Chains A and B, each alone.
Chain A
Amino acid sequence: MKKTVILLLTACLVLGSTACSKKWKDVTAGAKVVTYESLEEMEQKADLIVTGKKIEGDLYVHKSASGQPHAAYSRFQIKSLLKDATENFKEGDEILVMEPDIPDEEEGVRYHVDDYTAMNRQDEYILFLQYNESGYPKACTILGVNFGVCSLGRDYKMKSYGGDTHEEIDRWRENIREKYLPAVG
């Protein structure tokens, strides 16, 4: 009997801690995003095309006048600099990237704009970026939200938090991988 009680209490503790460790509820923020006719068009629009890894996320979360969090920045280290129209960067530099996967502590949610999921720190990514030199902080915007970011690891396909399907983006990313994976290794 004593052993049974101990086992039950242990199970409750484990289950309880598992439930509590998930701090956020993941929700979609419906969006009308900018699109590009082709990969070539996006490449031409990009100020920067880089590969590298994310170092740190959820920095400088901006809120609007009404208190809505709507911008969160991540530090990203450049491994390969494939295009730099600004002539400001070199391999090894760190850049700030706005990732539209935004925490809202008051609501207890993470808003995923058009189902965007923040980069992890394990995979290498290729990013197609617009550089906002006049912004504060000076940071980069990912073109087309989901179109301009692609994991070079195994997990490159889109997740869905609100019912949208994303075959178009998955195919788009497959094209990116087909073109760039052989080049960057």
Chain B
Amino acid sequence: MTKRIKILILTILIGVSSMLSAKAYVFNGYTVPNHNYVTYYVYSSFSPYVYDFNTYSVKWNTSPKITILPSSGVNATISVEGDLMSSNIDAYGVTYHHTNGTGTIIFYHNFTGLTTVEKHETIIHEVGHVLGLAHCQPSKNSISVMRQYGFNHVETPLSDDWAGINALY
């Protein structure tokens, strides 16, 4: 193989590798039925944090591809509940997807012990799961609220989250 061909192959490999590593967002295989009309309903079990959910779930609306708004009834894209008194799962929040594209988010007892900013980041994180984002690659934790563990202590989606939503919808 000539030297030129070897250099060309190496250049292509480096280019492809850098393209792959730049993408940190990961999709979970789900999408909402209508990304311009994503409704949510907060059950009374999460009523202490209705204001927080109302304010921070809609941070995703900064993307022109997403509109999240409250539903007047229980038939919503996102059902939001709390299991705040018991400690069934050692987690802050969990998102359960349904086959019709809707999702249920349940916030657990540990959520109540978070700081205010961490609560808001958790709300944005769980809504991100409903919208179709899985946890980001660990090397990109600092630019995504979809990090699997820990917090960035932010109250808005970050650059890689926006890239993921724009790519998905």
Residues of chain A whose beta carbon lies under 8 Å from any beta carbon of chain B: 27-35, 62, 64-66, 68, 70-71, 98, 100, 104, 107-109, 111, 113-114, 130, 132, 135, 141-145, 148, 162-165, 168
Nearest Cβ on chain A to B15's Cβ, whole angstroms: 24
Beta-carbon contact of A33 and B90 below 8 Å: yes
The CA-CA distance from A163 to B149 in the complex, in Å, is 15
The CA-CA distance from A11 to B98 in the complex, in Å, is 34
Beta-carbon contact of B83 and A66 below 8 Å: no
Beta-carbon contact of A100 and B98 below 8 Å: no
Q: Is B97 an interface residue (CB 8 A)?
A: yes
The CA-CA distance from A184 to B59 in the complex, in Å, is 50
Nearest Cβ on chain B to A151's Cβ, whole angstroms: 18
Contact with A along B59-102 (1 / 0, CB 8 A): 00000000000000010000101010011111111111111000
Given known pairs A64-B104, A163-B28, the reply for A30 and B89 (CB within 8 Å) is no
Contacting residues, chain A, for B89 (C-beta < 8 A): 31, 33, 70-71, 98, 100, 113, 141, 145
Beta-carbon contact of A145 and B43 below 8 Å: no
Contacting residues, chain B, for A113 (C-beta < 8 A): 89, 91, 94
The CA-CA distance from A117 to B93 in the complex, in Å, is 18
The CA-CA distance from A70 to B81 in the complex, in Å, is 11
Beta-carbon contact of B90 and A143 below 8 Å: yes
Beta-carbon contact of B110 and A34 below 8 Å: yes
Beta-carbon contact of B81 and A162 below 8 Å: no
Contact with A along B132-151 (1 / 0, CB 8 A): 00110110000000001110
B interface size (C-beta, 8 A):
39
Beta-carbon contact of B90 and A142 below 8 Å: yes
A-B residue pairs in contact (CB < 8 Å), sample of 18:
A27-B97, A30-B28, A31-B89, A32-B122, A32-B125, A64-B45, A64-B106, A68-B106, A70-B83, A70-B96, A70-B106, A108-B99, A109-B99, A113-B94, A114-B94, A130-B87, A165-B137, A168-B149
Contacting residues, chain A, for B79 (C-beta < 8 A): 66, 68
Cβ-closest 7 pairs across A and B: A30-B129, A33-B91, A31-B94, A68-B104, A32-B92, A71-B88, A66-B79
The residue of chain A having its C-beta at the shortest distance from the C-beta of B137 within the complex is: A165
> Which of B45, B90, B135 interacts with A130 by CB under 8 Å?
B90
Contacting residues, chain A, for B94 (C-beta < 8 A): 29-32, 70, 100, 113-114
Q: Is B49 an interface residue (CB 8 A)?
A: no
The CA-CA distance from A65 to B29 in the complex, in Å, is 26
Q: Is B26 an interface residue (CB 8 A)?
A: yes
Contacting residues, chain B, for A135 (C-beta < 8 A): 86-88
The CA-CA distance from A165 to B86 in the complex, in Å, is 29
Beta-carbon contact of A68 and B90 below 8 Å: no
Beta-carbon contact of A31 and B91 below 8 Å: yes
The CA-CA distance from A35 to B148 in the complex, in Å, is 10
The CA-CA distance from A163 to B164 in the complex, in Å, is 15
The CA-CA distance from A120 to B91 in the complex, in Å, is 23
Beta-carbon contact of A70 and B91 below 8 Å: no
